[in-house]
Amino acid sequence: MAMVKLSRQAGKSVLITRPAARLVAPAMREASHDGTITLDTEGVLRIGVSFFDEALLVFNEIIAETGNDRLRLVYRKAPTMQSLKRLAGNRGFVLSERAGDWVIVPGGGAEDGG
């Protein structure tokens, strides 16, 4: 499983802007080849709405580019903000929680039990 370490890729521990999310986009694209993009939040003190929203847009772009509607986005050690969960739903994604992680899939995509 390819893991994108957010604090290393963005060079920051507070991720609140859209440009910060765009900094991690190349690593997200690279990680998408095995079907799951795992964003590791270790060392991240805060994830803001703008960063989270832009990362969802990048995820959507990757789905469109690859044609893989079974692709999953996993936030390892997910942030605790409920507003971020709602934002995923508003963008047409389905978010589920597993052992402190968030698993995000396209609204029509099938999610496996893993």
CATH of the domain at 7: 3.30.1370
Structure-block tokens of residue 96: 């589920």
Nearest to 48 by CA among 83, 1, 97, 11: 83
- Give the chain's radius of gyration (CA, Å): 13
Name the residue range of residue 42's domain. 3-106
Query: Up-side HSE of residue 90: CA atoms within 13 Å toward CB?
Result: 9
Classify residue 37: in a domain, yes or no: yes
Please check whether residue 63 lies inside any domain of the structure: yes
User: Is residue 48 included in any domain, yes or no?
Assistant: yes
What's the pTM?
Answer: 0.87
Whether residue 113 lies inside any domain: the answer is: no
Note whether 109 and 101 are within 8 A (CB): no
> What per-residue confidence (pLDDT) applies to 111?
44
- Residue pLDDT tens, the chain, 114 long: 679 999 999 889 999 999 999 999 999 999 999 899 999 999 999 999 999 999 999 999 999 999 999 999 999 988 777 889 889 999 999 999 998 899 999 985 444 444
Query: Is residue 86, in this structure, part of any structural domain at all?
Result: yes
Number of structural domains the chain divides into: 1
97 domain-assigned? yes
